[in-house]
Amino acid sequence: MAVIRRPDVPEGARRNLVDALHEIYLQAGAPGVRAIAQRGGISRDTAHRVLAGTAVPTWPALEAVVTALKADVARFRALWVAARQPDVASVAEPESAGRSELPLRLLVVEDHPLYRTALTRVLVEAGHDVVGTTENGEEAVSLALATRPDVILMDHYLPGLLGIDAAARIRSVDPTIRVLVISAAASAELTLHALRVGVQAVLSKDVDAEEMLRVLRIVAAGEIHVPAKFGPAPDVEPSEAGEPSLNPREWRVLQLVAEGRTDVEIAEQLAVSVRTVRSYLDRVRDKTGLRRRPELIRFAVDSALVRRRPGGATPGAAAG
């Protein structure tokens, strides 16, 4: 089996991405393109273009390869963002690096003038670049595809086209654009519908600025955020629903993942090592048959694996 050669590209941000990608490829044992494609759920041609091509790949393709090689997706998100910007020569690579740590290009879609102005001000004061605002769902689609923001902060009940429907249209064209819905009518039903069409999170408008910015960072890093209060309501045990059998600690880890916590944050909350957290996640993946983090979160929401108990308890909470 031939080892894929590192493509020859000029010095700069693109070289940083190529070098890092080739490094994790070799660390994984230089697997064949077929194996990488199967693990990442992509074609062999796509996998080969990511590893051997000289052009910056699309984010979904790169994310699939990085996930297949079991590397840090957040780190590669940062490298990819820098590589697609010609004026950025290099990017720092701390262990926790991610797109969420960079100044983000944001689009605000909100039909209430006062809230739109206040939200825009909060985002700008936090150091982000608001590339546009609009109050209409149809205009949101056009503006998003013209400006290609990193994240769209969007109300749901908009004139002309509902926010979630606008998000579905946008992501069908460019799945690298993330969407955070902020709605006065946020609910479990709205959240479930939003996740199914590709929205990364739904927040209520009564959250404070600090929480909104925290969830924005989660969404920008490519993760999904599901507030615990929006977990499905039925109070049945997993075995009754025919779901995979998870032990109490696996329940707890999955719940924290569904809330948008990183592996480091989960480790801190459970007082264990990051390696232990990843071991639990590997067992959850083996039991569910799902490999990628967004798939686990959507599965948890769809199948009611993560739910609120009477009095606010959650499955496995006592073990955490």
Q: What percent of the chain has pLDDT over 70?
A: 79
- Identify whether the C-beta of residue 281 lies closer than 8 Å to the C-beta of residue 262: no
Phi, psi of 189 (to 5 degrees): -65, -45
Please tell me the predicted confidence (pLDDT) of residue 1. Answer: 56
Instruction: Give the rounded distance of the alpha carbon of 23 from its chain centre.
Output: 24
Q: Which amino acid is it at 173? A: V
Distance CA 161, CA 205 (A): 19
Which stretches of 42-121 are assigned E, i.e. beta strand?
105-109
Q: What is the dihedral of CA 199, 204, 210, 212, to 10 degrees?
A: 20
- Run of H or E including 179: strand 178-183
Set out the domains of the chain in order of their start, with CATH numbers: 13-98 (1.10.260), 103-225 (3.40.50.2300), 248-319 (1.10.10.10)
Is the predicted pLDDT of residue 227 greater than 80, yes or no? Answer: no
pLDDT mean across residues, the chain: 77
Per-residue confidence (pLDDT) for residue 276, from 0 to 100: 84
Distance separating alpha carbons of residues 30 and 4, to the nearest angstrom: 8
User: Does residue 314 register a pLDDT over 60?
Assistant: no
Instruction: Tell me the pLDDT tens digit for each residue of 131-164.
Output: 999 999 999 999 999 899 999 999 998 888 899 9
The pLDDT of residue 4 is 87
**What average pLDDT score do residues 286-300 get?**
77
Q: Look at residue 320 and tell me whether its pLDDT is greater than 50.
A: no
Top pLDDT among 232 and 8 is at 8
* pLDDT number for residue 259: 67
Per-residue DSSP letter, 207: S
Residue 271: strand pairing partners: none
Q: Which residues contact 53 (CB under 8 A, 6 or more apart)?
A: 7
Is residue 98 over pLDDT 50? no
- What average pLDDT does range 245-271 have in this prediction? 74
Cβ atoms of 116 and 72 closer than 8 Å: no
* pLDDT at residue 312 greater than cutoff 50: no
pTM, whole model, 2 decimals? 0.48
When pLDDT is averaged across residues 165-188 and rounded to a whole number, the result is 87
